[in-house]
Amino acid sequence: MGLITVEGKGEVEIEEGVSAKEVSSKLSLTAPDQALAVQINGTLRDLASPLQHGDKIRFLSFDEPLGKEVFWHTSAHVLAQAILRLFPDAKPTIGPPIEHGFYYDFADLHISEEDFPRIEEEMRAIAKENYTSRRETFASKAEAIELFKANPYKVALIEGFEEGGELSGYRQGEFFDLCRGPHLPNVGKIKALKVTKVSGAYWRGDAKNEMLTRIYAITFPDREGLKNYLYILEEAKRRDHKIIGPKLGLFSLLPEAPGLPFIHPKGMIIWNRLIDLWRDLHTAAGYAEIKTPSILTRELWETSGHWSHYKQNMYTCEIDKRDFAIKPMNCPGCALYFKGQTHSYRDLPLRLAEIGHVHRYEAHGALSGLFRVRGFHQDDAHLFITKEQIQQEISALLKLADTLYTIFGIEYKLELSTRPAEGTIGSDEDWESATAALKRALDSGGHPYIIREGEGAFYGPKIDFHLRDALGRSWQCGTIQLDMNLPVRFNLEYTDQDGSRKRPLIIHRALYGSIERFFGSLIELYAGRFPLWLSPREIRILTVADRHTSYANELCKRLQQEGFLVEVDESSESVSKKVRAAQLDQVNYILTVGDKEMEHRTLALRCREGTVYGELNLEEFLATLQEEKRTRSLKPYY
């Protein structure tokens, strides 16, 4: 007998060698969304794995990312099994889990959406057969190649594995696939599923290779999960910024400039208010704003390392027989600015902010509205600091970010990424002290965070902000990166208190991330219904008849003098049609003026949501709206 520690359950007595599945049954973790896999002493394993005295284990459920990965990766095998039953000549290649569900790529397969129902039916049949997922290992690469010799794609994958490493596959019924796992204990945990899309995909993502058929799908441990997901899909279509933005005249994407959006006058109102907010917050936080050139010489990018490691994503040109590149990021230009000045310890921390217009080459197929573009503006900042200032500056940045995101009503998650296993620069001591300072700052901030072991940059640990939108989707926008590399590459120095020359550290930091992407996220967050302080269409005055035009224009002028954006609709359309047009344009407040309003010097108010308030005093209306804008309220005061 022995004891193990189960997270959330405490100590559990076991017999040596008992499986994790037996323990999960003993603890009644048998629901379809429970005990999908297990972490044993930090290592992810199947439930069939044996346990020993002293083990610390954690059962994974569907409501956590790792649990979903296991659930959806097993489901990808169910999809492949169904495809082979229906299309025996198809050749499975790879099938990974993704953020929402999974996909599987097949060669020698041609299907359309008309095939989705029978694929789904076959997948349901396999789930009902409730096969146990059994892991099998190969004695050698040669043995694995012999088994998969009829599938050149699997053979290519096997040949690419390191010699001596363990090769494994998973069997469920008649289906066997190459896989490192882990998998669900049985496929019967899959209770609801949907095939969502079919597309083409190049083998290994290389356009020089053959085109495969990629099938996307998603599964859940209950019908409610699928129902909610399908609702989110429909709601996402309703909120799609690529549809709402052009419809409201905010931006456009034209074939003459792929990946380079045109921001329209109404869009610029929102854009400028985002920048105004950003500047107000940064001025109050002690930042100085700079602007660096967009085109810099090859020598600069060689010094920074981008020419050798990032050139394929950069736009380059030749000027005066010298190579130049349009900047893909602002950091090297900011480093040049710092190097061009003389600095002492009294200047640090030096906080420099920049709205930098950067360009990066993205494959045409990857472009997506404002979310994935080739030219965008980063709200960058670079903080030049001493080692002793890391924690205080990270803490201040976390507070600044929280202030910004709270203004927009955005929820977010924090992730701390630590030192990668290989290829990093800096001493062990530097990495340990830097990571510890970031952890202390996160702990003192009180906001929950998770640690991504080994996922930091080669030059330092980082903190990422994952924003949650109205549909619960996650967007990686803001980031805080500690850099021990760029100061070395550019030989940056300051004079310390004892007169010696010291090298600063740099904190790279963006809060909006890409302003274009953040703009697109806001369109979807608010579904085009911007709060008053951001809205490009704050007030519209509707006339009942031509005789009311003079009073409407008088009201318009007064409201404009108070700083509001106001339009007058004096068209010959009926009032009901004018109201409908204003609501479709997402005008926050709709004012109607007729005989009574003109006589009483008042206005009749209707809000965007449809509530009618009737006759109001102009001065009271003005005072209320001024307060709504001043406080940057997310909810209308009327």
Q: Which of 11, 30, 61 is the last residue of a domain?
A: 61
DSSP 565: -
For the residues 25-36, what does the mean pLDDT come to?
94
- Identify whether 637 is part of a domain: no
Residues 307 and 356 in one domain: no
- Per-residue pLDDT band for 457 (boundaries 50, 70, 90) equals confident
Q: Which residues, in sequence order, are CB contacts of 115 under 8 Å at separation 6+?
A: 86
Q: pLDDT tens-digit profile of 51-87?
A: 999 999 999 999 998 999 999 999 999 999 999 999 9
Q: Pull the structure tokens for residue 422.
A: 């290989």
- Identify whether 301 is part of a domain: yes
- Identify whether 80 is part of a domain: yes
Residue 35's alpha-carbon distances to 7, 183, 424, 445, in angstroms, are 12, 11, 36, 33
Nearest to 214 by CA among 227, 205, 222: 205
Residues 180 and 310 in one domain: no
Of 21, 508, 509, 517, the active-site residue reads: 508
Residues 340 and 415 in one domain: yes
Q: pLDDT tens-digit profile of 99-133?
A: 889 999 999 999 999 999 999 999 999 999 999 99
Q: Is 331 tagged catalytic?
A: yes
Q: What percent of the chain has pLDDT over 70?
A: 100
Q: Are 447 and 499 in contact (CB under 8 A)?
A: no
Residues 280 and 340 in one domain: yes
**Separation between Cα atoms, residue 634 and residue 165, nearest integer Å:** 55
DSSP 460: B
Of 34, 81, 172, 378, the active-site residue reads: 378
Query: Which amino acid makes up residue 341?
Result: Q
Residues 334 and 302 in one domain: no
Q: Is 561 tagged catalytic?
A: no
Q: Are 182 and 46 in contact (CB under 8 A)?
A: yes
Asked if the model's pLDDT at residue 470 lies above 90, the reply is: no
Residues 348 and 475 in one domain: yes
Q: What is the pLDDT of residue 408?
A: 95
Tell me the backbone φ, ψ of residue 592, rounded to 5 degrees: -115, 135
Q: Are 541 and 557 in contact (CB under 8 A)?
A: no
Cβ atoms within 10 A of the Cβ of 38, count?
28
Q: Is 508 tagged catalytic?
A: yes
- Identify whether 635 is part of a domain: no
Of 58, 189, 382, 548, the active-site residue reads: 382
Residues 117 and 107 in one domain: yes
For the residues 305-309, what does the mean pLDDT come to?
90
Q: pLDDT tens-digit profile of 577-615?
A: 999 999 999 999 999 999 999 999 999 999 998 899 989
Of 379, 380, 483, 569, the active-site residue reads: 380
Q: pLDDT tens-digit profile of 397-454?
A: 999 999 999 999 998 999 999 998 888 877 888 888 889 989 999 999 889 998 988 8
- Identify whether 431 is part of a domain: yes
Residues 286 and 297 in one domain: no
For the residues 154-158, what does the mean pLDDT come to?
95
Asked if the model's pLDDT at residue 170 lies above 90, the reply is: yes
- Identify whether 243 is part of a domain: no
Q: Are 596 and 566 in contact (CB under 8 A)?
A: no
SS3 of residue 62 by DSSP: coil
Residues 11 and 158 in one domain: no
Q: What percent of the chain has pLDDT over 90?
A: 84
Q: Which residues lie across from 414 on neighbouring strands? A: 449, 465
What is the average pLDDT value for the chain, to the nearest integer? 94
Asked if the model's pLDDT at residue 385 lies above 80, the reply is: yes
**Separation between Cα atoms, residue 85 and residue 112, nearest integer Å:** 17
- Per-residue pLDDT band for 495 (boundaries 50, 70, 90) equals very high
Q: What is the pLDDT of residue 430?
A: 83
Q: Is 378 tagged catalytic?
A: yes
Q: Pull the structure tokens for residue 36.
A: 């999908």
Question: How many independent structural domains does the chain possess?
Answer: 5
SS3 of residue 428 by DSSP: helix
Q: Are 441 and 394 in contact (CB under 8 A)?
A: yes
Of 239, 327, 360, 608, the active-site residue reads: 360
- Identify whether 533 is part of a domain: no
Q: Is 607 tagged catalytic?
A: no
Q: Which residues lie across from 193 on neighbouring strands? A: 219
CATH number at 43 reads: 3.10.20.30
Q: Are 456 and 420 in contact (CB under 8 A)?
A: yes
- Identify whether 636 is part of a domain: no
CATH number at 473 reads: 3.30.930.10
CATH number at 79 reads: 3.30.980.10
For the residues 230-239, what does the mean pLDDT come to?
89
For the residues 316-344, what does the mean pLDDT come to?
95
Residues 513 and 575 in one domain: no
- Per-residue pLDDT band for 166 (boundaries 50, 70, 90) equals confident
For the residues 559-566, what does the mean pLDDT come to?
96
Residues 481 and 501 in one domain: yes
- Which residues form the domain of 610? 539-630
Asked if the model's pLDDT at residue 471 lies above 80, the reply is: no
Question: Measured on CA atoms in the order 606, 612, 617, 621, is the torsion positive or negative?
Answer: negative
Q: Which residues lie across from 590 on neighbouring strands? A: 540, 606
Residues 216 and 287 in one domain: no
